[in-house]
Amino acid sequence: MKLQKVITTSVILSSIFTVGFSFQSFAAVKGNIVGSNVNVRSQSSASSVKIDTLDNGAGVEILDENQGWYKVAYGQVNGAYVAKDFISIKEATGEVTSTGVNIRSKASTSSSAVAQVKKGDIVTVTGQDSTWYRIQRLNGDTAYISKNFVSGKMLSFVPAFTGGEVIAVQTYAIVTASSGLRLRASGSADGAIITTLESDEVLDVLENGNQWVKVKTNNGSTGYVSAQYIAVRTGEKPSRSASSKGDKVVDYAKQFIGTPYSWGGTSLDSGVDCSGFVYSVMKNFGVTLNRSSAAMASNGVYVERSALQAGDLVFFDTTNSTNQGYISHVGIYMGDGKIIHSSSGKQWGVTTSSLSENYYDTKYVTARRVLR
């Protein structure tokens, strides 16, 4: 459907930015529907009257937010409600809070300043990381502004960006032996010992074999290790610190087991929904994610199910009787085939589950790695 503008007051910001709107908390917030036949309701309640359905990708303008629901406008509809988990925020406006703030070409204080803005100016925010907002200029170019100088109630829901980083995909191995693993000069138990590798050490795989694997260590040593004591994986090679950080994320998340489920909630102590739990846990480690479960699937890099490690995000289709690939639930992988998540089902709240359970096994959709 054609997107209808419901706020019409506009200003030109010193010929630098795209046309904006007079500042309001929810002015010019745009999003897209995520999912098929998503219900549009008259009130912010699942028991209210259904007035329409929207298909995946449909554009809406967000007017307000209320405990798990967005008040939206589109086409001839103005003031209806859609559950937050079915909308991915595309962009939002923010207000500059200081004068003489530099707009930069890249998300770095060492990059060139392309313009300045003053207090009260409005910027259109299209992405964010832990310290920067990505904004759009009038000519369509992308620029960046420090988060310290922009405010807006909906900005936390804007998608995360990776700064255009190219992700290297390669074959690597992780040492699984708990007591260390010998790196040998040849693929034989009689081969001379070069060194002993520690558990969880990450190695480059040079030649893969059924019994022995030729690898290269981070310090440049090349040799052979027994295939029995490593896990060979394909994808983005993690750092050892990333693996360690994943364990720290899991340890941190476990302290909130028992926190009640609250639709739209982000408080790890008083109540969270599934995406609110993941969002708040990862935020503690400096990782900025999109807010809804469906939108989070655009963060990070794809991880095969067989290559999951602690701290990875796992996604499920819980809205359909059969798995159709729509994302409606998210959790954090703990290792050993388990996840920690906020469930609205039989256990109600933050709990742990096994991916081998029939329900989660059949509902599994995809996974993403967001820890670097």
Exposure pattern of 312-340 as b/e (b: 16+ CB <10 Å)?
bbbbbbbbeeeeeebbbbbbbbbeeebbb
| Among candidate residues 270, 284, 273, the one with its CA nearest the CA of residue 67 | 273
Out of 38-52, 242-256, 330-344, least confident range: 242-256
Residue ranges of the alpha helices (H) in the chain? 240-254, 274-283, 293-296, 358-363
Using a pLDDT cut of 90, give the percent of the chain over it: 33
Q: CA–CA distance from 308 to each of 30, 286, 316, 334 (Å)?
A: 33, 21, 15, 9
Per-residue pLDDT tens over the stretch 277-294 = 999 999 988 898 998 898
| Among candidate residues 271, 277, 337, the one with its CA nearest the CA of residue 308 | 337
Q: Where does residue 286 rank: exposed (0-12), middle (13-18), buried (19+ CB within 10 A)? A: exposed
pLDDT value of position 23:
33
Region 40-65 average pLDDT? 89
Question: Could you give the 3-state DSSP secondary structure of residue 35?
Answer: coil
Per-residue pLDDT tens over the stretch 106-152 = 888 888 999 999 999 999 998 887 788 999 877 778 899 999 899 98
Region 196-201 average pLDDT? 82
Question: Could you give the 3-state DSSP secondary structure of residue 245?
Answer: helix
Take residue 186 and report the two structure tokens written for it.
Answer: 């040849």
Domains of the chain are 23-167 (2.30.30.40), 171-234 (2.30.30.40), 245-369 (3.90.1720.10)
| The overall pTM is greater than 0.85 | no
**Virtual CA dihedral for 346, 348, 351, 355, nearest 10 degrees?**
40
Per-residue pLDDT tens over the stretch 205-228 = 888 777 899 999 887 889 999 988
